[in-house]
Amino acid sequence: MTEPLTTLSETRVFGGWLKRVRHQSAAVDCDMTFAIFLPPQVEDGAKVPVFYWLSGLTCTDENFTQKAGAFRVAAELGLAIVAPDTSPRGEGVPGDPDGGWDFGLGAGFYVDATEEPWARHYRMHDYVTRELPALVEANFPVSDRRSIAGHSMGGHGALVCALKHPGVYKAVSAFAPIVNPAAVPWGEKAFGRYLGPDRDRWLEWDACALIAKATERLPILIDQGDRDGFLEAQLKPQALVAAADAAEHPVTLRMQAGYDHSYFFISTFIEDHLRHHAAALLG
């Protein structure tokens, strides 16, 4: 029996519907909100494949739905889009004890925390890869053909989801992902708290480490702006390229001249990513 869903809003867009939905999550033990775009093809009885989008630090589902400009192309291609929140929230969910913006609420890092007080709620990987797809497929006219993409922290999440679950996703891509979180300040802060001090355990959630032992060669598309203020200290895409080359894993890194870390960058290239995913989902 699936948990009941509460529809918070419904908006008509490009012949389809954008819905915001709330439900009680067992994985993260609190109410969660996600957005789902259903393209016009579902009104003809079609079950459509799903493009999952994972957003970055401080974001919610609304950053992507309001700023990415993805719905025209998704409607043309016949893709559903599901955009979850980036972390658990609500009364009793702990945030950053130091008041920082890069940990806790809005910064779940798409891992399954093992350390207290985080372990009860911060199980975003389980939520994204298991609970949310089951919920979506049980309640909406979508198929079990899935792909996954994301931005920054969400790019890290998308890469890890695809690498840890071979055969589950038909395509993966990322904008400005944190590819080596075990070796950069954002990841060190988050992993040290969520996962504890043993750095070997961190590698289970690090794309550069996971790609070396990947059993599936799912091609990876990455776009990265060369004027991104986080590029040198936090993102380091060349580390993933080096790891992929060593493992003979296909990866395409496109350095985009003049672009930063914002949704102006994402909205410029989101069509390329949707078409990359559609080729795998609909092929």
152 included as an active-site residue: yes
Q: What are the residue ranges of helices labelled H in 88-152?
A: 124-126, 132-139
Helix (H) or strand (E) holding 4: none
> Of 55, 152, 156, 277, which is the active-site residue?
152
The answer to whether the CB of 21 falls within 8 A of the CB of 34 is yes
State residue 77 phi and psi, 5-degree precision. -80, -20
**Within 13 Å and on the Cβ side, how many CA atoms surround 172?**
26
Task: Write the DSSP symbol of residue 234.
Answer: I
228 included as an active-site residue: yes
> If DSSP codes are grouped into helix, strand and coil, which group holds residue 60?
coil
261 included as an active-site residue: yes
> Of 55, 125, 228, 277, which is the active-site residue?
228
> Of 125, 151, 249, 261, which is the active-site residue?
261
Q: Which residues pair with 123 in a beta bridge?
A: 112
Query: How many CB atoms lie under 10 A from the CB of residue 35?
Result: 23
Helix (H) or strand (E) holding 162: helix 153-164
What is the C-alpha separation between 178 and 162, in angstroms, rounded?
Answer: 15
Q: What residues act catalytically?
A: 152, 228, 261
